Amino acid sequence: MSIKRKNPEDLRSHRWYGVHDLRSFGHRSRTAQMGYASEEYAGKPVIAILNTWSEINPCHTHFKQRVEEVKRGIWQAGGFPIELPVQTLSEPFQKPTTMLYRNFLAMEVEETLRSYPADGVVLMGGCDKTTPALLMGAISMDIPAIFVPAGPMLRGDWNGQTLGSGSDTWKYWADLRAGKITEDDWKGVEGGIARSPGHCMTMGTASTMTSAAEALGFTLPGFASIPAPDSRHAQMAARTGLRIVEMVWEDLKPSDIVTARSVDNAVTTCLALAGSTNAIVHMIALARRAGVELTLERYDELARRTPVLANIRPAGEYLMEDFYYAGGLRAMLKELGNLLDGTQRTVNGNTLAENIADARIFDDAVIRRRASPLMPDTGLAVLRGNLAPDGAVIKPGAADPKLHVHTGRAVVFRDYSDMAARIDSDALDVDENCVIVLQHAGPIGAPGMPEWGQLPIPQKLLKKGVRDMVRISDARMSGTSYGACVLHVAPESFIGGPLALVKDGDLIELDVPGRKLNVLISDDELARRKAAWVRPEPRFARGYGAMHQIHVMQADKGCDFDFLQREGAGGSRPADEPEIH
């Protein structure tokens, strides 16, 4: 492919620095005030580095150093780096949920890039919502953009046992509540489960989305799998700085990378990883920012043909550090073969196929071969029925198989506080065959659709040895979680979706193979309940929250703001889109 290179006067930053008027005088004089001579930036690409580092984001503690390595690469390539801090979305600390603020960061990215003299951008993220937020903003702005993934932390360790972030938290918390471990044991897990910089080393939302970003074409090949403390991670950061300068001269933008087929590549990657269900919401939002319609139906189509190859917790047994040593994402993508479209362009200028051509699997217990997958397909299933007219999702591999087809009596909690107050009460009328239902946990109702979907099993059942039950909500679930949890029910209960109409004692039918989710009452009874339903009071009276509750879309549309969708999202896929067989 022939590339027409930009001239210095074609640079966006030329409008700030290169013209002879009073405003440019101000820009140049103020840059001199910061200690830079004009020859350091004149006629050179200005590269914004959007850094989500903060002292309350443990996943990004190494970004203080990584940003210096990115700058080194930019200087070496003849660019001019400017570091711009943007909102940090710290999954462990931000309440009620980072998801409430994903769109806030996406807007900040877009507006920061629009309002400053950026010719290209390096996006630094990794902790769950930072990856989709950064990419959403960059896709909307559409200047050359490349992503630096934070990388997974090292394996956890406690008393000789390997710990996985999140997954073992839920496991040992259940054991503590059931009286199987002591408080001293619990403190030992606390001290050993997260012992280095980096995001979760299980296949949670963080590794799912950084891997999706690589498959989509936004990172240098192999970057997403490297553990955060590994020196090769620092080397890749410097190479990213080198590459973004060339991308500016080549004018290689997100609109050249994000297509219906590259989106399918990213979704297929998420499915082959048995990735987080959160990826559905984020990938739909990302795609729609580029004008590509990604639907739940398309997700389910791809899930039905995609084998799960990554043997990583919580669906498997290993962790991201093992995955990297086994060959990493490049090796898994190569093993997927014709399930991916290798012709898609990526940020290094090569196609996806070129980027993975020499990849090898070094341990096929960790990265399975297509002939012996962890699961042959259905890493994720999309459900519909009178309880979820616009869809719901479940991760079958994380659920007890005997619950894939189940009918049980509903035990309903009207909100999270109600659940927290009653779930462990001995008076709660519940047994292991019941279906636990949580209302008002969606995008508007919670607010922000928190990761409440792995609803706790009542303590009296834990003590009997029960470790899984069918649980249904309009919330999300951490990618590190597990269980027969039906999530993302749409429309949500807070706006009058059918989930709001479920009552204690109703029979609920879950049929994963049949893709069904129904409450077994008549249409007339549902209609009577809907007529009697009273809309709750709004959660917010002012500020960002008030804007969020007015403009946020439902889970099946990606929970983006309605006014940020690119024109064309919601249309049909290209006419030459290949059939899935």
- 401: tokens are 């198989």
Distance CA 192, CA 154 (A): 11
Q: How far from 325 is each of 220, 367, 426, CA to CA, in Å?
A: 18, 10, 48
For residues 570 and 387, what is the distance between their CA atoms, to the nearest angstrom?
24
CB half-sphere exposure, 457, CA atoms < 13 A: 26
Sign of CA dihedral 417, 554, 110, 133: positive
Residues 6+ apart with CB under 8 A from 158: 188, 189, 191, 192, 193
User: What letter would DSSP give residue 578?
Assistant: P
* Ramachandran quadrant class, 567 (left: phi over 0; alpha: psi -120 to 50; beta: rest): beta
The pLDDT of residue 170 is 84
CATH 3.60.20.10 fits 44-154+196-356, yes or no: no
| Spatial distance between the Cα atoms of 218 and 210, rounded to a whole number of angstroms | 9
List of residues 6+ apart from 437 with CB closer than 8 A: 410, 411, 412, 413, 471, 472, 473, 499, 502, 508
Kindly state the tokens that stand for 216.
């989509």
**pLDDT (0 to 100) of residue 2:** 57
Could you state, in order of their start, the residue ranges of all structural domains in the chain?
Answer: 1-43, 44-154+196-356, 156-192, 381-536
What is the structure's pLDDT at 481?
Answer: 85
Instruction: Assign domain 381-536 to a CATH class.
Output: alpha beta
Q: Which 3-state string (H, E, C) describes 378-394?
A: CCCEEEEECCEEEEEEE
The two structure tokens encoding residue 336: 């997927």
- Alpha carbon distance 539, 277 (integer Å): 26
pLDDT tens string, the chain, 581 residues long: the values are: 556 799 999 999 999 999 999 999 999 999 999 999 999 999 999 999 999 999 999 999 999 999 999 999 999 999 999 999 999 999 999 999 999 999 999 999 999 999 999 999 999 999 999 999 999 999 999 999 999 999 999 999 999 999 999 889 988 998 998 899 999 999 999 999 999 999 999 999 999 999 999 999 999 999 999 999 999 999 999 999 999 999 999 999 999 999 999 999 999 999 999 999 999 999 999 999 999 999 999 999 999 999 999 999 998 999 999 999 999 999 999 999 999 999 999 999 999 999 999 999 999 999 999 999 999 998 999 999 999 999 999 999 889 999 999 999 999 999 999 999 999 999 999 999 999 999 999 999 999 999 999 999 999 999 999 999 999 999 999 888 889 999 999 999 999 999 999 999 999 999 999 999 999 999 999 999 999 999 999 999 999 999 999 999 999 999 999 999 886 664 443 344 333 32
Other CB atoms within 10 Å distance of the CB of residue 13: 25
Q: Among candidates 102, 107, 43, 112, which has minimal Cα distance to 82?
A: 112
C-alpha to C-alpha distance for 44 and 66, rounded to whole angstroms: 22
- Contact 386/508 with Cβ under 8 angstroms? no
Half-sphere exposure of 357 (CA within 13 A, CB side): 6
Amino acid letter at 293?
E
